[in-house]
Amino acid sequence: MFTFIFLIPFLLCCLYFGVLESDIYVSESVFVIRQPDRKSLSSLGAFLQNIGISSVREEAFTVREFVLSRDALKVIDDNMNLRKAFGNKKIDVLNRFNPTGFFDSFEDLYEYFLGKVTVDVDLTSSIATMHIKAFTAKDAFSINEGLLFLSEGLINKLNTRAKKDMEDLAIATVREAEEELRTCVMNLTKYQDKETLFDPAQQSTMQLQHVARLQSELISIRGSLSQLREFASESPQIKALEARSSELKREIDVEMSKVVGGTTSITQKLMEYERLKLDREFAQQKLTTALASLEQARGEMQRQQLYLERIVSPNMPDGPVLPLRLMNIFASFVLLLMVYGILRMLLIGISEHRD
């Protein structure tokens, strides 16, 4: 029993872990997603950056998900033929990809690939560490370098999309301001045409000057009437002057009603005109601000919002770091010894129960 349960399996484990198991090379790289110092960004750039691009930590996890994605695997496989690299006959059968020849689909390769790539993101510093396992130093290095290159491309793509969103937002704001200004100008022009207004303030001044002239004439006529009534009460000019005085009073009342009367008075028209004019000036100011924001946004577009910085570039392994042969042999020894001990105790218990 000891021979079959412990000794032979242990010798087989020693043979596999000590001799047959293929060497595994590990290439490591360390990177971080950075963005420009917010102090160096304009207020618009910082605002658009906040709404257009997520935080550095989120982007680090985005890169991690991409590295472990089927899209990344497809590009690497097309460039390196991973089926051939991982399916090499020199690799031991337990570590080799598709050793039986029946599991050669892309999904099988993807499941195998996930066992060779690890990306750990530090939650505090957002620094990501990537390890690639392969059976040659060159393959480990090439896969690591390829995945980093693809990750840089992903960050550039995110930058491009965010910059486009930034410009589209600014352009939409400009177009909205242009349409608002166009509407305000049209409303003001229509009102001027409808009310025959060109410069209400000047027209009001001219109207008041005309009233002042009429009042001056009325005062003069009243003075003449007073003198005639006192010194020539029978003069035929009195009736003519009285008629003219009454006519002037009516004309003054009519002219004053045009200035300060009801809804058709110049005063009311001037209030509506000033409101429409204020709307136009506000729309013009809004358009000026929107155009300045567009130029500022285009300036921000020339700056990279996010970039992948390599802290440690992929290394070309000097030698294999896996498997841990002695540790695996020791673990096998302990595990088999435990199995043997458990089985022996069970058999002793069964034997005693029968007796």
User: Does residue 307 sit in the same domain as residue 167?
Assistant: yes
User: Does residue 45 sit in the same domain as residue 159?
Assistant: yes
Q: Is residue 159, in this structure, part of any structural domain at all? A: yes
User: Does residue 184 sit in the same domain as residue 148?
Assistant: no
Q: Give me the mean pLDDT over the 149-163 stretch.
A: 89
User: Does residue 234 sit in the same domain as residue 207?
Assistant: yes
Q: Determine the 3-state secondary structure of 118 from DSSP.
A: strand
Q: How many domains does the chain have?
A: 2
Q: Is residue 348, in this structure, part of any structural domain at all? A: no
User: Does residue 144 sit in the same domain as residue 26?
Assistant: yes
Q: Is residue 342, in this structure, part of any structural domain at all? A: no
Return mean pLDDT, the chain. Answer: 82
User: Does residue 293 sit in the same domain as residue 308?
Assistant: no
Q: Quick: pLDDT tens for 185-231.
A: 898 888 777 766 666 656 566 666 766 777 787 788 778 778 777 77
What is the total residue count of the chain?
355
User: Does residue 111 sit in the same domain as residue 182?
Assistant: no
pLDDT of residue 53: 43
Phi, psi angle pair for 309, to nearest 5° = -105, 125
Q: Is residue 7, in this structure, part of any structural domain at all? A: no
133: which 2 tokens?
Answer: 């396992």
Q: Is residue 64, in this structure, part of any structural domain at all? A: yes
User: Does residue 188 sit in the same domain as residue 164?
Assistant: no
pLDDT of residue 259: 58
Q: Give me the mean pLDDT over the 68-78 stretch.
A: 95
Q: Is residue 11, in this structure, part of any structural domain at all? A: no
User: Does residue 30 sit in the same domain as residue 162?
Assistant: yes
User: Considering only CA atoms, which of 121, 162, 178 is closest in space to residue 304?
Assistant: 162
Q: Is residue 8, in this structure, part of any structural domain at all? A: no
Q: Which domain, by its residues, includes 194? A: 178-299
Whether 79 has a pLDDT exceeding 90, the answer reads yes
CA atoms within 13 A of residue 302's CA, in its CB half-sphere: 5
CATH of the domain at 116: 3.30.1890
149: which 2 tokens?
Answer: 């290159």
Q: Quick: pLDDT tens for 265-277.
A: 566 667 777 788 8
User: Does residue 39 sit in the same domain as residue 99?
Assistant: yes
